[in-house]
């Protein structure tokens, strides 16, 4: 084998190996959402969102009290936000194209009106029940198998 042929073969193998390695960085597309959850979370690092619509786990449309809950998606699955009265932090991971919120979200311990506290507890509980996420323009949607469904609008420009 001539040196030129060997160099070409090595270049082809290198490119092919690189493509195989890169393909492992992407998850398959979820048939229900049309977009992979892992790809969505990866592209949303350092974005801020405000809750605009919320259907709870029991299928009921929930009122969004003031102040509306917020969500910041940081890098590497780090999330934080304001849940009505308190601030929350946590991590979300994607396994087999499903969201995993871990054991618990860290929440500050400020007290508010009974109505706000009940709404906050439902919001945090429903957020942890979501299993997939999609983005359509400035709309971010977290969904459970049937319910809950939390929709956010982008807060940053």
Do the domain assignments include residue 7?
A: no
What is the rounded CA–CA span in Å between residue 40 and residue 54? 20
Could you report the per-residue pLDDT of 63-89, keeping only the tens digit for each? 998 999 999 999 888 999 999 999 999
Do the domain assignments include residue 23?
A: no
Do the domain assignments include residue 38?
A: yes
Domain range enclosing 112: 29-154
Cβ atoms of residues 140 and 41 within 8 Å: no
Do the domain assignments include residue 140?
A: yes
Quote the strand ranges of 3-154, DSSP E: 47-55, 70-73, 78-82, 87-91, 93-95, 98-100, 106-107, 132-136, 139-143, 149-154
Residue 47's domain is classified under what CATH number? 2.40.128.270
Query: Please, what is the average pLDDT of the chain?
Result: 79
Binning pLDDT at 50, 70 and 90, where does residue 100 land?
Answer: confident
Do the domain assignments include residue 66?
A: yes
Could you report the per-residue pLDDT of 141-150, keeping only the tens digit for each? 999 988 899 9
Query: Total domain count for the chain?
Result: 1
Q: Is this prediction's pTM over 0.85? A: no
- Give the CA distances from residue 118 to residues 67, 81, 89, 121, 132, in Å, rounded to whole numbers and listed in that order: 14, 17, 19, 5, 24
């Amino acid at each position: 084998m001539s040196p030129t042929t060997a160099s070409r073969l090595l270049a082809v193998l290198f490119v092919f190996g690189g493509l195989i390695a890169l393909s492992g960085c992407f998850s398959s597309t979820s048939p229900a959402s049309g977009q992979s959850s892992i790809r969505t979370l990866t592209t949303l690092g350092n974005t801020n969102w405000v809750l605009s619509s919320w259907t709870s786990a029991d299928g009921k449309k929930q009122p969004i009290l003031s102040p509306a809950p917020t969500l910041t998606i940081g890098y590497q699955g780090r999330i934080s936000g304001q849940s009505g009265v308190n601030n929350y932090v946590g991590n979300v991971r994607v396994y087999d194209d499903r969201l995993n919120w871990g054991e618990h979200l860290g929440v500050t311990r400020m007290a508010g009106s009974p109505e706000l506290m009940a709404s906050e507890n439902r919001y945090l509980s429903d957020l942890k029940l979501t299993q997939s996420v999609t983005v359509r323009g400035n709309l971010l949607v977290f969904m459970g198998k049937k319910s809950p469904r939390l929709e956010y609008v982008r807060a940053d420009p």
